[in-house]
Amino acid sequence: MTEAPLRLTELSHGGGCGCKIAPAALAEMLAHMPAAQPFANLLVGTETADDAAVWKLNDQQALIATTDFFMPIVDDPFDFGRIAATNALSDVYAMGGTPIMALAIVGMPVGKLPLSAIGRILEGGASVCAEAGIPVAGGHSIDSPEPIYGLVALGLAHPDVIKRNRDAKDGDVLILGKPLGVGILGSAMKKGVLDADGYAQMLAATTRLNKVGPALAVLPGVHALTDVTGFGLLGHLLEICRGAGLAAKVSAARLPVMPAAVGFAKQGIGPGAIGRNLASYGLSVNFEEGVEEWQRSVMADAQTSGGLMVACDPASADEVLEVFRQGGFTDATVIGRMEAGLPKVHVSA
């Protein structure tokens, strides 16, 4: 009898950044956390929902620290490891930093998953770290009911180039570096309707390191930088709005979307995180007449290892786009702007 092929996604109830707790639930969970004590060297903590914590080491160096892990979004163990590692390192790049090392976070159902498959997951993660020029210097593992993999990622940057959500300015244009639709394609794969071309589109996006982060951060016109992951484009843009005390306007027609994801979105295929995200945005997101249902889904779709989103002076937009394109991000697009107003996102058709 032929052994059935291994399907990692069947071992978990969710996958990728779609595993994130919804923004509204997370806010409720954290509502009664005691106020953080002031530390002079803590440049970035939890106050503005930034991508990583930052600690000033000296006048020339700041340490960036972050962690990210999740359950499989794909069935291939090596690809899962690559995607998870790329996603974890992205938070360092999103702060304007350069990774220096990583630690592996490993939770695996040892009795259900062959040790060889677990080894391939770790190899996939290590291959991405090698591409980033850093070691996997250690980690921690547990026997877990569902497969979990990710990294603790550490990086360095000059304290003056750290990019925070709160630093976006009225009039800034918004530029997105990668196309949307990762969660939608992941759902199509789990349903068995994603073809090889669609899988290739998803893999190309999720395994491309956001290495352009440091080059973007040093541009004088770049004010804020984040990456788009589990809360969807709208959720992470709302974090910028709230941090900066500004509104944002986005054009649905200008959003880059992976071609394979469009058809599935129109069929209503997508992760449960889309509904959770939309419910969490509440009145903080206003869809104008003409924005189609599938476009709303794409903007709320949980991205795994998504693109960098830049808020920059309009005069710097061409320079930012050129940095993206020189780094291989050919889908980089101006999608909207920041403007004065209550912290909300207005979506036009």
59, burial (CB in 10 Å: exposed 0-12, middle 13-18, buried 19+): exposed
- Concerning whether 129 is annotated as a catalytic residue, the answer is no
Per the annotation, binding residues are: 20, 48-51, 68, 91, 139-141, 227
How far apart CA 252 and CA 82 sit, in angstroms, is: 30
Q: Output DSSP code: residue 18.
A: G
Per the annotation, binding residues for ATP are: 20, 48-50, 68, 91, 139-141
CB count within 10 Å of CB 259 equals 11
Q: Considering 17, 19, 241, 312, which one is annotated as catalytic?
A: 17
Side-chain half-sphere CA neighbours of 191 within 13 A = 14
CB 54 within 8 A of CB 92: no
281, burial (CB in 10 Å: exposed 0-12, middle 13-18, buried 19+): buried
| Structure-block tokens of residue 269 | 């295929």
What is the total residue count of the chain? 349
Q: Which of 333, 322, 300 is nearest to 175 (CA)?
A: 333
| Structure-block tokens of residue 55 | 């600690």
Strand-by-strand arrangement of the 222-227 sheet: 222-227, 308-312, 173-176, 333-339, 247-251, 345-348, 285-287
Side-chain half-sphere CA neighbours of 158 within 13 A = 7
CB 240 within 8 A of CB 311: yes
Per the annotation, binding residues for Mg(2+) are: 51, 91, 227
- Which residue blocks in the chain are alpha helix, DSSP H? 23-30, 77-94, 115-132, 182-190, 196-206, 213-217, 232-244, 259-266, 273-281, 293-300, 317-326
| Structure-block tokens of residue 323 | 């940095």
Q: Is 144 helix (H, G, I), strand (E, B) or coil?
A: coil
Q: Which residues are catalytic?
A: 17
